[in-house]
C-alpha cells in the first residue's frame, strides 16, 4: 500500500510532480476532526496556556465542541507529546459539549479515533453519550492501565483492553458495525465482542464527562461508517507521524 506523506515527489518521464499531503478529509464520511495542535482550525496556534472556548471541527461539517464557562475550559498547552501540543483537562471541571448532530452517530455504524493520555486516576471518560445519566456510548480510562469502549444500553458488556500505559499518549481506534464492538491500541490487534447496539436515545454527548478526564487530548477523528482495515491503517499511520507515536 502506498501512503502519501508531506513533501514527497514521484518521478515522471519529464518532470517531478509533488504529491498532495494526506489529510483525514481524504477519507469519506468524516464528521468530526478535532486537532489539538490547531484548536482554532486556522493553522495558527494560540499562546501556551490559552483557555479554549470552542474547539473547531476541521472536518468541514461544522461540529464544533464548546465550553461557555471560562473556569471549565481546557487549556492549549505546548510540549505535551514529543514536543507537540494538545488540550489539557484538569480532572475537576474541564469539558466540552458536543453539538446535537453528533448524538445520532452511535445509532449506526461508525469509527472513532482518539489520541489521548491520562495523568493518573481510575475511571475517566474521554467521550461519553448518556441518557438520563445512564451510559449509552463511551471511550474511557478504567482501572489498572485499562481502557474501555461501549456502544449499547447500560454499563455492562462493553470492551476493555488492559496493559495500556495510560500516562503515555496512545492512538485508540474504536468502531461499531452492527452488533460488533471493537477497540484497538496503536494499530494493534483489536478486541471485539458481539454485544453492541445502535443507540437512538442519547440526550447528552460530552468530551470529558461524569468522571472527568485528568490528562490531554491530541486528536479526535470520527467517521459515520465502519472503515476498511486499509483506511484505519492509513489514519493510524497519519496520527503516528503527526505525534511521534510508534505503531
Residue appearing with cell numbers 447500560: 154
Q: Is the pLDDT of residue 154 over 90?
A: no
Q: Is the pLDDT of residue 15 over 70?
A: no
Q: Is the pLDDT of residue 135 over 80?
A: yes
Res 127: pLDDT = 98
Mean pLDDT over 167-188 rounds to: 97
Q: Is the pLDDT of residue 16 over 90?
A: no
Q: Where are the beta strands (DSSP E) in 68-145?
A: 75-81, 84-90, 96-97, 110-118, 124-131, 134-142
Q: Is the pLDDT of residue 20 over 90?
A: no
Q: Which residues pair with 66 in a beta bridge?
A: 54, 97
- Buried b / exposed e along 4-14 (16+ C-beta atoms within 10 A): eeeeeeeeeee
Res 155: pLDDT = 80
Mean pLDDT over 40-44 rounds to: 97
Res 54: pLDDT = 98
Q: Is the pLDDT of residue 13 over 90?
A: no
Distance CA 245, CA 145 (A): 18
- The CATH code of domain 26-243 reads 2.60.120.200
Residue appearing with cell numbers 482501572: 143
- Summary mean pLDDT of the chain: 92
Amino acid at each position: 500500500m502506498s501512503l502519501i506523506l508531506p513533501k514527497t515527489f514521484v518521478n515522471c518521464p519529464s518532470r517531478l510532480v509533488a504529491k498532495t499531503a494526506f489529510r483525514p478529509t481524504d477519507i469519506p464520511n468524516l464528521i468530526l476532526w478535532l486537532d489539538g495542535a490547531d484548536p482554532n482550525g486556522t493553522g495558527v496556534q494560540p499562546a501556551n496556556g490559552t483557555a479554549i472556548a470552542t474547539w473547531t471541527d476541521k472536518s468541514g461539517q461544522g461540529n464544533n465542541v464548546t465550553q461557555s464557562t471560562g473556569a471549565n475550559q481546557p487549556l492549549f498547552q505546548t510540549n505535551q507529546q514529543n514536543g507537540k501540543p494538545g488540550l489539557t483537562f484538569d480532572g475537576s471541571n474541564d469539558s466540552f459539549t458536543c453539538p446535537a448532530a453528533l448524538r445520532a452517530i452511535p445509532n449506526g455504524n461508525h469509527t472513532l479515533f482518539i489520541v489521548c493520555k491520562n495523568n493518573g486516576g481510575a475511571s475517566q471518560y474521554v467521550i461519553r453519550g448518556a441518557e438520563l445519566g445512564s451510559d449509552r456510548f463511551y471511550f474511557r480510562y478504567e482501572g489498572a492501565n485499562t481502557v474501555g469502549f461501549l456502544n449499547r444500553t447500560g454499563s455492562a458488556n462493553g470492551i476493555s483492553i488492559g496493559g495500556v500505559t495510560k500516562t503515555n499518549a496512545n492512538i485508540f481506534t474504536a468502531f461499531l458495525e452492527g452488533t460488533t464492538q471493537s477497540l484497538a491500541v496503536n494499530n494493534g490487534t483489536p478486541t471485539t465482542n458481539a454485544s453492541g447496539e445502535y443507540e437512538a436515545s442519547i440526550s447528552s454527548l460530552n468530551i470529558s464527562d461524569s468522571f472527568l478526564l485528568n490528562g490531554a487530548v491530541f486528536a479526535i477523528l470520527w467517521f459515520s461508517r465502519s472503515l476498511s482495515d486499509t483506511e484505519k491503517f492509513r489514519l493510524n499511520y497519519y496520527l503516528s507521524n503527526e505525534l511521534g507515536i510508534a505503531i
